[in-house]
Chains A and B, each alone.
Chain A
Amino acid sequence: MWYYRSPTIVFGEDSLSFLNSVKSRRCLIVSDRNLEKAGIVDNIKELLPEDCRTMIFSSIDQEPTFSQMTSAMDSIMKFKPDHIVAVGGGSVIDTAKVILFRYARPDLDFYDLTPLEYLGIKEAAKLIAIPTTSGTGSECSWAAVVSDEREKRKNELASSEILPDYAILDPAVVTGLPRKQTVSTAVDAMTHAIEAYVSTWRNFYSDALAEKALELITGNIAEVLHDPGDIQARNSVHIGASMAGSSFSNSQIGLAHALGHALGAIFKVPHGTSVGLFLPAVVEFNSTVVHDRYDRLNSIFPESMRDKTLAGSLRKIFATMGQPVHISDAGISKDSYNAAKPSLEKLAMESTGLVANPRESESADIHMLLEEVMG
Chain B
Amino acid sequence: MPVFPSNDWVNSFVEEINRNRKYEDTAKDWEGDFNFVVEKDQKFHETVYIYLDLYHGKCRRGGLYAAGEAPKAAFYYSGPYQNWVRLINGEFDPLKAVLVGKFKLKGSMMKIMRYTAAAKELVRTANLVDTQFE
Instruction: Please report A residues at the B interface, Cβ cutoff 8 Å.
Output: 1-3, 111-112, 114-116, 155-157, 200-201, 349-350, 352, 354-356, 360, 362-363
Contact = CB atoms under 8 A, between A and B. Distances in A.
Contact of A355 (B25, B104, B110, B120): B120
B100 A352 contact: no
Contacts of B113: 111, 114, 155-157, 352
Interface in B44-91: none
B114 interface: yes
Contacts of A362: 21-22, 25-26
Contact of A349 (B96, B105, B108, B117): B117
Given A2-B96, A116-B104, A201-B93, A363 B109 contact: no
Contacts of B108: 111
The main secondary structure of chain B at its interface with chain A is helix
B116 A354 contact: yes
B98 interface: yes
8 contacts: A111-B113, A115-B98, A116-B106, A155-B113, A350-B114, A354-B26, A362-B22, A362-B25
B115 A350 contact: yes
B114 A116 contact: no
B99 interface: yes
B26 A114 contact: no
Given A352-B116, A355-B120, A111 B109 contact: yes
Given A116-B105, A354-B26, A356-B93, 5 more contacts: A2-B100, A115-B98, A350-B115, A354-B116, A355-B95
A114 B109 contact: yes
Contact of A363 (B25, B93, B100, B102): B25
Given A155-B113, A362-B22, A115 B93 contact: no
Nearest to B92: A1
Contacts of A3: 100
A152 to B, nearest CB: 14
Given A2-B100, A362-B22, A355 B109 contact: no
Contact of B96 (A201, A350, A354, A363): A201
Max chain A C-beta neighbours (<10 A), residue from B22, B98, B104, B110: B110
Nearest to B117: A354
A352 B104 CA distance: 18
A229 B98 CA distance: 45
B26 to A, nearest CB: 7
